[in-house]
A and B are shown apart, each in its own frame.
Chain A
């Protein structure tokens, strides 16, 4: 791999950029690997990367039905924060946020992490109490957040109307070290680093079946032939139930569309990320100047990557009161991703009923922020059979009733 640096840019400028090689290779599948990861999204690639980096496992393939990072990794609103209420979540998301801080240097790939600060608006008395509680919990967990009043909110985000008649802004949970990053670059950076370690990334290779023997996984059937493996990781987000069915078990998941949209590019007007959970809308401004807007999920199961129009309408209608300037913006693009939602709105990083098979799913509406931490913990789980980061997120929590109940505590929007 050629290192990217200012010298590389200068050198290539001298020879008309003829020397840039492929960022990652496009190999033919081998007949067997030590580890196969299904799904080359952010979480799958991060898992592969940390398996290689932390545990020296590089005889590994990442199998992807479509193209790299073409699912939810390329469809989210790129918010990174770790202000969760429960200890298990805060530990996992804070690990992830801290890994994001050095990710560009670590991968030698600019993921454009921008710690611009994330605020979650309190627009009801209930939310004020909820976020004050979260701020106290965060200070015990070592996550730096604070509860700020409306005047500070206005100071940080002047385009906001804090005296709305329906939902006035009463305060906010402020995490100054949260922010956003370039979603494609996260997938591309991990893929380049994985490829450099000798791992195979097999794009446009669909898994059709999971081969098992004596209760253990022995390989996968794909559209490019059968591939044997010793360990299998399923990291397929919205399609987790479909892949789990191939392996013969059911998951506590339902897949629903989640939508987002971006406006035409405008001049810089907002340098923080704002989430308004009461009205189900969140907004930030991308480096290109587009306002990036996300909303709530659809109410029923679907695998169509578009979603219902009225949900979008509700999101925009809600944001117009808090951000009056949005009403004059033209919207450029709109899309949906399929998110897999669990009963307690927390992810699953777990062993499965099938031996040597592990699953990472259930991130629901908030997986992007967790990519590095999830990869770190899931790699440890796959290599050692256990990980302190993922201990609370096992499938068995639904059996024993030990939920990580973020849906009530932290607001449903992620």
Chain B
């Protein structure tokens, strides 16, 4: 059972209390954007075997969206952080760097 700590209510939540929201930090493209950008936003996904950043929702708790940094190969959780950010905060990046030196994910490292 995957357990994530909701950064809003501060409680550890089992995955049955959460709902997964897919890849984090997507740049949104709407009407007026190029076909390529729109396709990329809607369908193309970073699908790594290893470190991944995702959106999650505290569905049966406070109801808020948040972010999680996690490994898809080992299910290790590196940390969770609030949704109001365009990239992972330094404290999360530091945790990942100690555990996975030399990591990179999309444009972040």
Contacts and interface: CB of A to CB of B under 8 A. Distances in A.
Given A242-B49, A303-B49, A252 B72 contact: no
**From DSSP, what is the main secondary structure of chain A's interface residues?**
mixed
B97 interface: no
A251 interface: yes
Given A299-B19, A310-B16, A304 B74 contact: yes
A157 to B, nearest CB: 32
B12 interface: no
A399 B39 contact: yes
Interface residues of A, number: 25
A299 B15 contact: yes
B89 interface: no
Contact of B73 (A254, A304, A308): A304
A398 B40 CA distance: 9
Contacts of B16: 310
Residue among A340, A342, A398 with the highest chain B CB neighbour number at 10 A = A398
Interface string A162-196: 00000000000000000000000000000000000
Q: Determine the interface band of chain B, counting residues with CB < 8 A from chain A.
A: 20 to 34
Contacts of B49: 239, 242, 255, 303
Interface in A144-165: none
A274 interface: no
A158 to B, nearest CB: 35
B43 interface: yes
A243 to B, nearest CB: 10
B2 A251 contact: no
Given A241-B47, A398-B43, A399-B39, A300 B54 contact: yes
A253 B75 contact: no
Contact of A301 (B1, B19, B35, B47): B47
Contacts of A239: 49
Contacts of A301: 20, 47, 52, 54, 72
B75 to A, nearest CB: 6
B42 interface: yes
Nearest to A245: B48
Contacts of B42: 343, 398
Interface string A318-346: 00000000000000000000001011000
Contacts of B19: 299
B39 A398 contact: yes
Interface string B14-56: 0110011010000000000001100110111111110010100
A250 interface: yes
A309 interface: yes
Contacts of B75: 302, 304
Nearest to A255: B47
Interface string A248-265: 001111110000000000
A300 B57 CA distance: 12
A300 B44 contact: no
Contact of B20 (A253, A300, A303): A300
Contacts of A299: 15, 19-20
Contact of B45 (A253, A309, A399): A253
6 contacts: A250-B46, A253-B47, A303-B49, A304-B73, A308-B15, A398-B43
Interface of B: 1-2, 15-16, 19-20, 22, 35-36, 39-40, 42-49, 52, 54, 72-75
Given A242-B47, A303-B72, A340-B47, 9 more contacts: A241-B45, A254-B45, A299-B19, A302-B72, A303-B49, A303-B73, A304-B73, A308-B2, A310-B16
